[in-house]
Structure 1
Amino acid sequence: MTAVQEHPAQAGEQTLEELCRKAAEHREHGERHGTLHPTVWQAVADSVVPRVAVPAQCAGLQWPVPRILDAVRRVAVADPAAGWVAAIHAPAGAFLSRLDPAIALGMAGPRAVIAGSSLPAGSIEQHQAGVRLSGRWPLVTGAPSMTLAALASPVHGPDGAATTRWWLVPRRELRIEEDWDALGLRGSASYTVACAADVPFEHGICLTDEPYVDAPLYRYPLYGLMAGCIAAVAQATAERALAAFTALAARTHTRNAAGALAEQPPAQAAFARADGRLRAAAALLDSATTAAWTSALAGQVPGAERALLRSACCQMAEAAEYVCRELFDAAGTAAVHRASGLEGCWRDAVTISRHALVAHRGRQLAGAYELTTVSAKDL
């Protein structure tokens, strides 16, 4: 009998659908326990998500950027916390493109799942074979499923100037502190990770260095890819809030007004403002992503397109928070009940908008380029 093998793309789609199904089914577990259900963590590891940005020579999938963003958004629709985990694991595979290919191949293995913290919270002591990396890194999203952690530390050059270097450390060298207790994205298990380990020099990377792999995915701005994945979760959250408000407004009657909430002019105006704000942000994000990806396919992405991309990601995070707050307020007392769905959207959107990639630093980098044409390396 001849064995029938599935096409890799088909198999990848199936694992993504399975992750979305399990994430939606166990969403309440994350809300109550501060971590995803064990079956969801396993589905994350089994899915294509951690491998979509891993270089092909490391047995990765090296997906196009629009497809990566769509995958993250689909998971976030099923469960925002699982989507947040996907938003971290998915682009992190691109870190391997900054390693020597032979070293990257050895580190990746068949099922690499990379998480990390963007804060340069660690310290290093250099020795003959590498560095001694020590410290505690907060907010390592997806820690329960990771096989590698990318942990940042400041490194001082001969001139005394400090740069940030990320060190890839195996899970066995880490201690996870289960201290995640945040307002939103409750199930993402963004724990603190402690490390005191010897790391070879060649396992350190600078995210702004040129990649070893010359491919469109790695010519696309890495910081823009990471911010885009966060923006995808924000967009899914705002869309979920619009759907929740629509359902709630149809069945909610206020004390001093005739008819359902959906029939009342203030609610109608609030919905129109929120919907318009989200559509505008989505249009900008789609346009900026398309422009940057088109340039990456042809060669390098110009500074102006990098700035627009980062600005669009920040605008989406800001718009999502606005949408969720506007609809939460418009729903009145009905919104405070967890069953409405609106309070959860509001909590998640507020948490998303605080991430450094889409908060003040991202806006400042974009504005600096637009005003001075100075392009920071992490734009």
Structure 2
Amino acid sequence: MTLVHDQPALVAVGQLSRAAGEHREFGERHGTLHPAVWQALTASPLPRAAVPADCGGLQWDPPQILAAVREVALADPAAGWVAAIHGPAGAFLSRLPAQTARDLVGDAPVVAGSSVPVGRTEPEGEEVRLRGRWPLVTGAPAMTLAALAAPADHHKAPGTRWWLVPRDRLSVEEDWDALGLRGSASYTVACDTLVPGAHSISLTDAPLADGALYRYPLYGLLAGCIAEVARASGERALAAFATLASTTASRYGSGPMAYQPAVQAAFDQADGRLHAAAGLLDAATEAAWSSALAGQVSPGQRALLRTACSQMAEAAEAACRTLFDAAGAAAIHRAAGLEGCWRDAMTISRHALVAARGRQLAGAHHLTATTAGEL
């Protein structure tokens, strides 16, 4: 997978990763990232990585975005989760005319959002009144622009649309209290505001901005970033387990746990699952990106990409659970690191993009040749 090749960008992502690793415990205890991590995030290139170049964005290749998200997640999955949302979300702006996008983003855009279509819309003159409360807006403390899903049956293209609302028109409820990814500050946001009709998009519409990044499946990019956080969580669990097994003696055996056959078998099972899922994810990503560079990603490649993302989330959860169980009572101590990996992996696997809906879309394509727009 291609790494971030621009040296200043590489340095900035590294600084973000170091800050995230240093302050992981703050996020665990307070439900939000440390101020130094938020500052490093907004100063990094990640929020502008997928923003179109003609409105000041960097328009990175998908493999660059995925690699950067994984690097941050290896330091702290909660910070990686925030990066996994802000990193690809700039691609939403590719669905807008360039001038409209420029008017919205400002100099340092940080896009967040919620895909839960719980809002209401009503026409008011030339604008639309948007009302509602949207849960799970990851990275809300850093956002400058929110993309909020709501039905729009009155629109010329009826259906669920994403409404782009500046931060100063939103209220934020600091209510994030979840099992894992504790520092991600996935808060509820609310608004009752007028939004120009032109400030809404459908993610299934063709992009208006040019470039291979925008020919790459948007849902596949979003799901891929989620999958990279899952991969990092599994890799963190393997490392934590290896350390624990080499330093912890078994009550019923002699020597460290690492010499017990059952422990060795469990480690290999978890390691094999992760490597297999990672191989599929990397292959599907490379195939889709090669096709995007050439011109078009086929429905079959889109389906395989979603399958690979879901497979990675499942494999990471299973690996973390296997390692947690194999470690026995030693796993329950927070200092060992395994329980945090297990909690993060469990939380990641329940995101809609890599849970049952993603599987269903891919399965529908394979069985019925039905290709939904959100594939």
Q: TM-score range by the shorter chain?
A: over 0.9
Name whichever of 62-71 and 10-19 sits farther off: 10-19
Cα distance, 1:343 vs structure 2: 0.2
Alignment of 1:237-276 (within 5 A): 237-276=233-272
3-state secondary structure, aligned to 2:347: helix
Alignment of 1:37-48 (within 5 A): 37-48=34-45
Alignment of 1:84-163 (within 5 A): 84-156=81-153, 163=159
Is 1:57–2:57 an aligned residue pair? no
Alignment-derived partner of residue 298 in structure 1: 294
CA offsets per residue over residues 32-87 of structure 1, 9 Å max, x none?
A: 00000011111111110100000001111000110100000000011110000000
3-state secondary structure, aligned to 1:194: strand
CA offsets per residue over residues 157-188 of structure 1, 9 Å max, x none?
A: 689x9521001100000000000000000000
In 2: Cα distance, 1:347 partner to 1:82 partner: 15
Alignment-derived partner of residue 9 in structure 1: 6
Q: 1:76 aligns with which of 53, 73, 76?
A: 73
* Contact 2:204–2:373 (Cα < 8 Å) also in 1: yes
Q: 1:27 aligns with which of 19, 24, 29?
A: 24
Alignment-derived partner of residue 211 in structure 2: 215
Cα distance, 1:9 vs structure 2: 2.3
- Give the letter for the 1:94 counterpart: A
- Cα 1:158–1:18, aligned 2, differ >3 Å: closer, same or farther? closer
Alignment of 1:193-232 (within 5 A): 193-232=189-228
Q: Percent identity?
A: 67
In 2: Cα distance, 1:137 partner to 1:170 partner: 15
Alignment of 1:300-315 (within 5 A): 300-315=296-311
CA offsets per residue over residues 218-262 of structure 1, 9 Å max, x none?
A: 000000000000000000000000000000000111111122100
3-state secondary structure, aligned to 1:156: coil
In 1: Cα distance, 2:102 partner to 2:9 partner: 21
Q: Taking structure 1 as the reference length, what is the TM-score of the superposition?
A: 0.96
3-state secondary structure, aligned to 1:103: helix
Alignment-derived partner of residue 178 in structure 1: 174
- Cα 1:156–1:140, aligned 2, differ >3 Å: closer, same or farther? same
Is 1:367–2:363 an aligned residue pair? yes
* Contact 2:123–2:154 (Cα < 8 Å) also in 1: no
CA offsets per residue over residues 85-115 of structure 1, 9 Å max, x none?
A: 0000001000010001110011111100000
3-state secondary structure, aligned to 2:249: coil
Cα distance, 1:155 vs structure 2: 1.8
Alignment-derived partner of residue 5 in structure 1: none
* Shift >3 Å, 4+ stretches: none
CA offsets per residue over residues 296-342 of structure 1, 9 Å max, x none?
A: 00111100000000000000000000000000000000000000100
- Give the letter for the 1:280 counterpart: A
Q: Taking structure 2 as the reference length, what is the TM-score of the superposition?
A: 0.97
Alignment-derived partner of residue 349 in structure 1: 345
CA offsets per residue over residues 324-376 of structure 1, 9 Å max, x none?
A: 00000000000000001000000000000000000010000000001111100
Alignment-derived partner of residue 329 in structure 2: 333
- Give the letter for the 1:180 counterpart: W
- Give the letter for the 1:238 counterpart: G
Name whichever of 319-328 and 125-134 sits farther off: 125-134
Structure 2 segments unaligned to the other structure (5+ residues): none
In 2: Cα distance, 1:163 partner to 1:367 partner: 24
In 2: Cα distance, 1:9 partner to 1:291 partner: 23
In 1: Cα distance, 2:265 partner to 2:36 partner: 42
In 2: Cα distance, 1:290 partner to 1:158 partner: 37
3-state secondary structure, aligned to 1:184: coil
In 2: Cα distance, 1:104 partner to 1:235 partner: 33
- Give the letter for the 1:99 counterpart: L
3-state secondary structure, aligned to 2:17: helix
In 2: Cα distance, 1:43 partner to 1:378 partner: 32
Name whichever of 254-263 and 240-249 sits farther off: 254-263
In 1: Cα distance, 2:124 partner to 2:131 partner: 14
3-state secondary structure, aligned to 2:264: helix
Size of the aligned set, in residue pairs, is 371
3-state secondary structure, aligned to 2:132: strand
